[in-house]
Amino acid sequence: MAYTSISTSNGKQIKVPTGLLINNEFIPSSTGATIEIFSPVNERQIARVASATAADVDLAVQSGLKALPAWRSTPPSSRSKFLSKLADLIERDADDLATIEAVDAGILFGESKALHITQASDTLRYFATLTDRPGESLEIPNGFAYTRREPYGVCAAIVPWNAPLMITIWKLAPAIAAGNVLIIKTPELAPLYAQKLGQLIVEAGFPAGVINILCGLGQDAGKAIAEHMLIRKLSFTGSGPTGRSILNAAAASNLKKVTLELGGKSPSIVFDDADLDNALFWTALGSSANNGQVCALGSRIYVQDTIYDQFVSSFKARASAGPTAHGDPLSEKTTKGPVISRPQHEKIMRYIQKGKEEGANVLFGGDALGDGIFVQNTVFTEVREDMTIVKEEIFGPVATIARFSAETEVIAKANDSEYGLNAAIFTKDIARARRVSDALEVGTVTVNSWGLINANTPFGGVKQSGFGRDLGREALDEWTTVKTVKHVLLPPAKL
């Protein structure tokens, strides 16, 4: 078995396998192919991991099929114990996992540990309480009926690079709780977290074949998963174009169940009765978190015209006052890490240039930051609704601030988007918060905050942000199918 080592900030070496996890063993690709992994900090190669082929996907499917009968029959209490044990191990190795996300995904160590890893363990513990798959009892004429929620069988999850561990667990926890077996296709730009996670899955005692982990290119492993005739359910988080390709492949193969969590261009609406300091804090965080590499980013900020000038002045002052120490995400001194890759950096810079060319005013930022692939937090004002930077998802630390006068006006502007993932509303008026929440065409609305993630609340979008839900009890519905059983009571036999 081949390994690679990752150095922590204090010089400790984290040793992780580089193979594909199939049947609880780390093995090379069937062709010996590998993927080079590069550091976002200095763009140097840091590892090579096995790159899965269609043959490897099929091997993982066969492993899952072999494990499925026993796993779906495993008592709910036992499945719960496995999930809880994995949560324990993730918490035990939180520093290692945060280090790995910093090294290959460019996520700040402190942010990864406090948010991503905590959320992952919380999600596992939540779904560990929901392993019993309750159905419903129903009355019918001359008898009775009931429903059963049953696992699909062999399922798959394709996860992104921006919050890889957290989103992996969003899919793993309900899938496994429901009695499915799961193949995880990890992001080729940042797969090392999953190599460590695979070690923890084996240590937790999951039976061989219940969880298989494959790193691979989208056009190879991803395509093979989407087209495989024996995979019954696929959950994908990523870009819209890839989501469409997955839907087409599912339709052309076995009509597998698909759930998609895609892009966003989310509005944050600040009314003139809002607590201004609170609104400033959350809109600033919500428009720049994780370098803007967040699908639910609050990148369209709308401020009521009576407080617009004050808000913009204060927003700029806060940005200017806060120190930005860009550099290695492992360092406690670093407040801003790199974006994920050179192509992503170039894409963000093209959008910033487009905003300038279309006549928007740069309130602050607007440039690359130092050497490497760092980007200044950038905010535009004096924007029009038809501007590219207002309409398209950038997936970087770029936001716009626009004014509005009336409630109906801002609702129309907020809804004038092909996306519908997330929104935030800032107001002290509870009735207004209810009206606007009801009117917004999004999957999640947060009042007087932004982007709160809770294991028990469903997350997902509408329109071109996708369909289906991660988290909450609703997630179990996505990983189970309903069977109806009807009993007809026969009349007593005549003697």
DSSP string, 270-304: E-TTS-HHHHHHHHHHHTTGGGG--TT---EEEEE
- Pick the catalytic residue: 261, 385, 407, 409? 261
How far is CA 460 from its chain centroid?
A: 10
Q: Which helix (H) or strand (E) holds 235?
A: strand 233-237
Q: Which helix (H) or strand (E) holds 71?
A: helix 54-72
Q: What is the CA radius of gyration of the chain?
A: 24
Q: Cβ of 494: how many Cβ atoms within 10 Å?
A: 4
- Which pairing describes strands 3-7 and 13-17: parallel, antiparallel, or unpaired? antiparallel
Give the span between the Cα atoms of 107 and 118, in whole angstroms.
15
Tokens of 112: 């990864």
Helix (H, G, I), strand (E, B) or coil at 150: strand
Q: Which helix (H) or strand (E) holds 359?
A: none
Q: Are 290 and 396 in contact (CB under 8 A)?
A: no
Tokens of 429: 């008026």
Query: Active site includes 111?
Result: no
Which letter, b or e, does each residue of 381-411 get, where b requires 16 or more Cβ atoms within 10 Å of its Cβ? bebeeebebbebbbbbbbbbbbbbeebeebb
Active site residues: 261
